[in-house]
Homo-oligomer: A and B are copies of this chain.
Amino acid sequence: MADTAGRPNQRRRTRKDLLDAAARLMKQGRRPTLEEVAEAALVSRATAYRYFPSIEALMVETTLDVAAPNADDVFKGAPGDPAGRVEKLDAAFESMMLTNEAGLRMMLAQSLQRSLTEEGGQLPKRQNRRTPLIEAALAPYKKEFSPAAFQTLSRALALIIGTEALVVFKDVLQVSDAEARKVRRWAIRAMVEAARK
């Protein structure tokens, strides 16, 4: 069904109702089934399945809608040094991730799942939000780094800032959010400094 054909308004409304209901339930820390979301959205189970093949798919979309940091306001009033700007970005990511943790874990799990099902060694196409933002953070100081150092630093920072690091801190190291933040900031400073030479 095309975007304009049929009754696009009704479709968008139904879809939005489902996403809203899912967001509401997830915000309560619940892990709803597709049936529960349908009920909360006041649509039938069959209709819910028409829009999303599984609760996972729905939760992924829910998270994507909620969580998209914007470069412009992330760096608003950012300090005048590269590490400070990266820390600002880290803070934005952290707050986004903590409020959307369930959805992000779901997305990561989904992506890993897919990487195992996918035929022909296809990698799961996973959108990369962090690299553009990391580069934006470093951009004003780009000339302080050699091109190679800039690229290496960007990539290394991608290990520190993102869902995967959150998972390491919480599930593997089992440290508090505050401790995790401290470690990230220390690592950011260490790496930005090292790249500067």
A160 at the interface (CB under 8 A from B): yes
Which chain B positions have C-beta within 8 A of A170?
123
Q: Does B106 contact A116, Cβ atoms closer than 8 Å?
A: yes
Of B158, B171, B190, the contact of A111 (CB 8 Å cutoff): B171
A104-126 interface (Cβ within 8 A of B): 105-106, 108-109, 111-113, 115-117, 121, 123-124, 126
* Residue in chain B with minimal CB distance to A191: B190
Question: Bound complex: CA of A194 vs CA of B189, how far in Å?
Answer: 9
> Among A123, A168, A179, A186, which residue has the most Cβ atoms of chain B within 10 A?
A168
A 112-143 binary contact with B (CB < 8 Å = 1; else 0): 11011100010110101011000000000000
Which chain B positions have C-beta within 8 A of A189?
194
Q: How far is the CB of A124 from chain B (nearest CB, A)?
A: 6
A193 at the interface (CB under 8 A from B): yes
* Residue in chain B with minimal CB distance to A183: B155
Q: Which applies to chain A's interface (DSSP): helix, strand, loop or mixed? A: helix
Q: How far is the CB of A106 from chain B (nearest CB, A)?
A: 6
Q: Does B29 contact A171, Cβ atoms closer than 8 Å?
A: no
Task: Count copies of this chain in the complex.
Answer: 2
A 157-197 binary contact with B (CB < 8 Å = 1; else 0): 01110101101111111110001001110110111011100
Which chain B positions have C-beta within 8 A of A106?
112, 116
Q: Does B29 contact A174, Cβ atoms closer than 8 Å?
A: no
Write the residues of chain A forming the contact surface with B, with a CB cutoff of 8 angstroms. 29-31, 102, 105-106, 108-109, 111-113, 115-117, 121, 123-124, 126, 128, 130-131, 152, 155-156, 158-160, 162, 164-165, 167-175, 179, 182-184, 186-187, 189-191, 193-195
